[in-house]
C-alpha cells in the first residue's frame, strides 16, 4: 500500500480512518430527489445522447427531470435540446437553469459562455470546481430525477461527482467492441470504490435494422454486452440501434421528439 498523502480527493481506500467524503449541500431553493450519473470508460460512445433520452423518456412518464452537464470541455446537452438562451442569475447569488420545451431543467457551461464554440481551457481542479457549483449554486426546482452527463474516463470530474453529489446510481454507456469488457470494467470498479450501484449498461450502436426486411445487422460484430453485464453482476441491459433519425434529432435540437422502448428496463431500475 502506498504512503498516505492525506489527500482524500485522490484516494480510493475504503478502510482509512482519515477518509472523509463530504457531500455538498444544495442551496435552500433547490430540491433533488434522485441523482443518476451517466458514465463511459471512453469517449465517442453516445453518452450525452443516452443522458438526454433517459431524461426525455422519464419526463414523458410524468416525472420532473434535470440534466447537469458535467462534461465541461465537451458540452453538447444544450445543442441537443435546441437551447441557446444563456443562464440567468437570481439575486446575484444563484444561477437559474435553462428550461426545455417539455420542462427539463438543464445547466451546462455552454449556457455561460459568450459563444458556444469558445473552448474551455481549464485545469482539472477548476473544471471540478465548476461542476460542484452547478450542484450548489443552481436553483433546481422540485427535481425527481437528475441525470449527470459525465466526461469519459475516471478522472477529476467523475471523482468530484461521486464524492460531492449524493449519487444514487450510475448507468454505463458502451459500444460493441472487443475492448468493451475492459472499458466497462473500469467504470464499474470506480463506482464500486465509491459505493455507488450500477443500475444498468446501455450498448449504443448495437445493431442496424434493415428498413426493408427488418433484419438486425451487427455492423460492429456480435454483441458481447450481455456477457460483460453478467461478468459484473449487472442485471439491466439496453441496446440502442444505429438509426440516422437519432442523429437527426440531436443535430436539429429536437431530442425531445425521441420515442421508443429501448431504455425501458433501465428506466424501471432507476425508478426502483
Q: Residues 162-198: pLDDT tens digits?
A: 999 999 999 999 988 767 888 888 889 999 999 999 9
Each residue of 106-119: pLDDT tens digit?
Answer: 999 999 988 888 88
What pLDDT was estimated at residue 18? 39
Residue 11's pLDDT is what?
A: 56
| pLDDT recorded at residue 69 | 97
Is the four-CA dihedral 119, 153, 205, 236 of positive or negative sign?
Answer: negative
The Cα 141–Cα 106 span in angstroms is: 11
Residue 13: predicted pLDDT: 54
pLDDT at residue 134, rounded to an integer = 97
pLDDT score recorded for residue 178? 63
Give the predicted TM-score (pTM) of the model: 0.90
* Whole-number pLDDT of residue 27: 96
- For residue 220, the Cα-to-chain-centroid distance in whole angstroms is 24
Q: What pLDDT sits at residue 103?
A: 97
Q: What is the pLDDT of residue 1?
A: 41
DSSP-assigned beta bridge partners for residue 216: 209
Contact (Cβ atoms closer than 8 angstroms) between residue 74 and residue 40: no
- Grid cell at residue 92: 446575484
Residue ranges of the chain whose pLDDT lies below 70:
1-21, 178
Q: What pLDDT is recorded for position 139?
A: 98
pLDDT number for residue 146: 98
pLDDT at residue number 21: 61
* Residue given cell 450502436 in the structure block: 205
Amino acid at each position: 500500500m502506498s504512503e498516505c498523502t492525506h489527500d482524500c480527493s485522490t484516494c480510493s481506500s475504503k478502510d482509512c480512518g482519515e477518509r472523509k467524503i463530504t457531500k455538498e449541500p444544495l442551496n435552500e431553493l433547490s430540491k433533488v430527489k434522485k441523482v443518476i450519473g451517466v458514465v463511459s470508460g471512453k469517449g465517442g460512445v453516445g453518452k450525452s445522447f443516452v443522458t438526454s433520452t433517459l431524461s426525455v423518456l422519464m419526463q414523458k412518464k410524468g416525472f420532473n427531470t434535470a440534466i447537469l452537464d458535467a462534461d465541461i470541455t465537451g458540452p453538447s446537452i444544450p445543442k441537443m435540446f435546441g437551447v441557446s438562451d444563456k443562464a440567468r442569475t437570481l439575486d446575484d447569488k444563484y444561477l437559474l437553469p435553462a428550461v426545455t420545451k417539455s420542462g427539463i431543467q438543464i445547466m451546462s457551461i455552454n449556457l455561460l459562455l459568450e459563444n458556444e464554440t469558445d473552448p474551455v481551457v481549464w485545469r482539472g481542479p477548476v473544471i471540478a470546481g465548476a461542476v460542484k457549483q452547478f450542484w450548489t449554486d443552481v436553483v433546481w426546482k422540485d427535481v425527481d430525477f437528475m441525470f449527470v452527463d459525465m466526461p469519459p474516463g475516471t478522472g477529476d470530474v467523475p471523482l468530484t461527482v461521486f464524492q460531492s453529489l449524493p449519487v444514487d446510481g450510475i448507468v454505463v454507456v458502451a459500444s460493441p467492441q472487443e475492448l468493451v469488457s475492459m472499458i466497462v470494467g473500469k467504470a464499474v470498479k470506480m463506482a464500486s470504490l465509491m459505493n455507488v450501484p450500477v443500475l444498468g449498461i446501455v450498448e449504443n450502436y448495437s445493431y442496424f435494422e434493415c428498413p426493408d426486411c427488418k433484419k438486425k445487422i451487427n455492423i460492429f460484430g456480435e454483441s458481447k454486452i450481455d456477457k460483460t453485464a453478467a461478468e459484473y453482476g449487472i442485471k439491466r441491459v439496453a441496446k440502442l440501434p444505429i438509426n440516422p433519425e437519432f442523429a437527426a434529432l440531436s443535430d436539429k435540437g429536437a431530442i425531445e421528439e425521441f420515442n421508443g422502448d429501448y431504455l425501458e428496463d433501465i428506466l424501471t431500475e432507476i425508478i426502483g
